[in-house]
């Protein structure tokens, strides 16, 4: 299937041509036709699947039909997103895909001066992208009218609930007409998400795209056992010896992010940290410099990194393993986008072995262990197969292990195999040896 088969407005197809998109991703192929029919949608999909275009293109299509003929300045479509970065990224996508439609959009989020946002709203917009808090603020000030919204999108709804936005979302819903098309996207479908969907969506089409771990076959994963105190040295060593031009490094805490960025910069590797304590301006600047290849390393916490979309990112480091195993999949999905290859390197110290176990269970795969590096820590491997001790049931009888990696081929190309990733050939230890 091609985009040209999708009956999108010619102005949108032209913009897609400029973007170099020819083939819809699976979620786009499934969602766009039903959204063009005006159906509600419940989409289970993560970043990296092309979900942004999956909802932006039909939105633009619906509104383009009436562009220029609309009266009033109130937005006709609202996209809610949990973070400033994601909101900005959606607005950037609307700029790209909607460049020939004559439609106006703007983005509002907290943490920055509201004056420019207010000025844009006063001029009138067709599509408004917003984080919930700032939107309510502006509504209370009488700056925005949601009474004409006919299309509503909730993006990363699970994240919005995690961040405590549910009461704000409920308040926002009361401000808009009930006659509308509603789309809800979430990476995970919990009981809370289901409950929210039931109150919001009418006879929705449900679309689930395969978890990213299956769509990221091109990501080469590797694991390094290392002492907590030597992680920074190992990171610097790998950046130097592996010829890594640019990397996104995930750390657990804001403080840790600052420490890693400072240490790298002090050692001649230009790095910047991005986390919730930094002002919006500082975060955007760090991101812009990274995108422009002026900063080699961006060190980020998970919340700050949500919504960061950097084209041609080749390397992701898990400096600290994530507390939630699903986060691992989100993190490594930042590389290997849209069919490109990528490398995901994870560090694991002695205290993180349980987190590693959870990650491996999540992806149903053992991450190949690299042992020949100067900071190698001698830990016993973490295997997918449960040991006799840990597989004992309550009454002392052993249970069959739930899954085993024996005989299963690891995802991703063989390390050093086809040369597509460059870098020296490494010795990989079998972690189930
Ligand atoms: P998303 O999941 O919306 O964050 O999109 C992931 C990345 O894929 C973004 O960098 C998009 O620009 C890119 N992308 C989205 N759809 C397509 C497509 N059909 N062809 C090529 N790249 C795409």
Residue nearest to atom 17 of ligand 1 (CA): 50
Residue nearest to atom 20 of ligand 1 (CA): 21
CB contact burial 78-88 (16+ within 10 A = b; e otherwise): bbbbbbbbbbb
Percent of the chain with pLDDT over 90: 59
Average pLDDT over residues 397-417: 32
Categorize the per-residue pLDDT at 275 as very low, low, confident or very high, splitting at 50, 70 and 90. confident
Q: How far is CA 259 from the centre of its chain?
A: 24
378: CA distance to ligand 1 center in Å? 40
Helix (H) or strand (E) holding 220: strand 219-225
Does the pLDDT at position 337 exceed 60?
yes
Categorize the per-residue pLDDT at 68 as very low, low, confident or very high, splitting at 50, 70 and 90. low
- The phi, psi pair for 102, rounded to 5°, reads 75, 10
Q: Mutate which of 3, 4, 15, 52 to test ligand 1's pocket (most atoms within 8 Å of Cβ)?
A: 52
53: CA distance to ligand 1 center in Å? 7
Residue nearest to atom 11 of ligand 1 (CA): 50
Residue nearest to atom 16 of ligand 1 (CA): 50
Q: Mutate which of 25, 85, 186, 310 to test ligand 1's pocket (most atoms within 8 Å of Cβ)?
A: 25
Does the pLDDT at position 236 exceed 90?
yes
Ligand 1 atom closest to Cα of 3?
19
Instruction: Read off the pLDDT of residues 79-135 as tens digits, 9 standing for 90 and up.
Output: 999 988 899 999 999 999 999 999 999 999 998 999 999 999 999 999 999 999 999
pLDDT of residue 71: 55
Compute CA distances 161 → 169, 192, 194, 210, whole Å.
9, 8, 12, 22
By CB atoms closer than 10 A (0-12, 13-18, 19+), residue 119 is exposed
Residue nearest to atom 21 of ligand 1 (CA): 21
93: CA distance to ligand 1 center in Å? 9
**Contact between 160 and 109 (Cβ < 8 Å):** no
Ligand 1 atom closest to Cα of 52?
3
Helix (H) or strand (E) holding 19: helix 10-19
21: CA distance to ligand 1 center in Å? 8
Residue nearest to atom 12 of ligand 1 (CA): 50
Residues in contact with ligand 1 by the CB-under-6-Å rule are 21, 23-25, 28, 47-53, 309, 311, 337-338
Does the pLDDT at position 422 exceed 60?
no
Average pLDDT over residues 274-292: 85
124: CA distance to ligand 1 center in Å? 28
189: CA distance to ligand 1 center in Å? 22
Helix (H) or strand (E) holding 152: strand 151-154
């Amino acid at each position: 299937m091609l985009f040209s088969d999708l009956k999108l407005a010619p102005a949108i197809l032209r913009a897609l041509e400029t973007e170099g998109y020819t083939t819809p991703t699976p979620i786009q192929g499934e969602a766009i036709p039903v959204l063009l029919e005006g159906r509600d949608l419940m989409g289970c999909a993560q970043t990296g699947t092309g979900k942004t275009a999956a909802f932006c293109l039909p939105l633009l299509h619906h509104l383009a039909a009436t562009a220029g003929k609309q009266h009033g300045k109130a937005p006709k479509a609202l996209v809610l997103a949990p973070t400033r970065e994601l909101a900005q990224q959606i607005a950037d996508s609307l700029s790209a895909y909607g460049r020939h439609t004559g439609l106006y959009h703007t983005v509002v989020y907290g943490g920055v001066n509201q004056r420019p946002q207010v000025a844009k709203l006063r001029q009138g917009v067709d599509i408004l992208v917003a984080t919930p808090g700032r939107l309510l603020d502006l509504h209370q000030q009488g700056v925005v009218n949601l009474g004409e919204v006919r299309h509503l999108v909730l993006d990363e709804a699970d994240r919005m609930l995690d961040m405590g936005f549910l009461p704000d979302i409920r308040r926002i819903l009361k401000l808009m007409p009930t006659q509308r098309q509603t789309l809800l996207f979430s990476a995970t479908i919990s009981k809370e998400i289901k409950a929210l969907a039931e109150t919001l969506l009418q006879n929705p089409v449900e679309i689930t795209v395969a978890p990213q771990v299956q769509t990221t076959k091109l990501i080469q994963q590797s694991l390094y056992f290392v002492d907590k105190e030597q992680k920074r040295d190992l990171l610097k060593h790998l950046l130097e010896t592996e010829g890594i031009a640019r990397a996104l490094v995930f750390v657990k805490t804001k403080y840790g992010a600052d420490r890693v960025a400072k240490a790298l910069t002090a050692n001649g590797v230009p790095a910047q940290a991005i986390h919730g304590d930094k002002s919006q301006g500082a975060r955007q600047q760090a991101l812009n410099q990274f995108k422009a290849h002026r900063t080699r390393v961006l060190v980020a916490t998970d919340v700050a990194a949500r919504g960061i979309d950097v084209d041609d990112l080749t390397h992701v480091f898990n400096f600290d393993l994530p507390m939630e195993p699903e986060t691992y999949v989100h993190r490594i999905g930042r590389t290997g986008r849209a069919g490109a290859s990528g490398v995901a390197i994870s560090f694991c110290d002695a205290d993180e072995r349980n987190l590693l176990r959870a990650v491996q269970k999540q992806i149903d795969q053992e991450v190949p262990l690299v042992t020949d590096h100067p900071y190698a820590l001698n830990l016993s491997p973490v295997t997918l197969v449960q040991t006799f001790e840990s597989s004992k049931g309550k009454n002392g009888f052993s249970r069959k292990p739930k899954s085993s990696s024996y005989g299963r081929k690891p995802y991703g190309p063989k390390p050093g195999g086809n040369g597509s990733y460059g870098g020296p050939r490494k010795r990989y230890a079998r972690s189930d040896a």
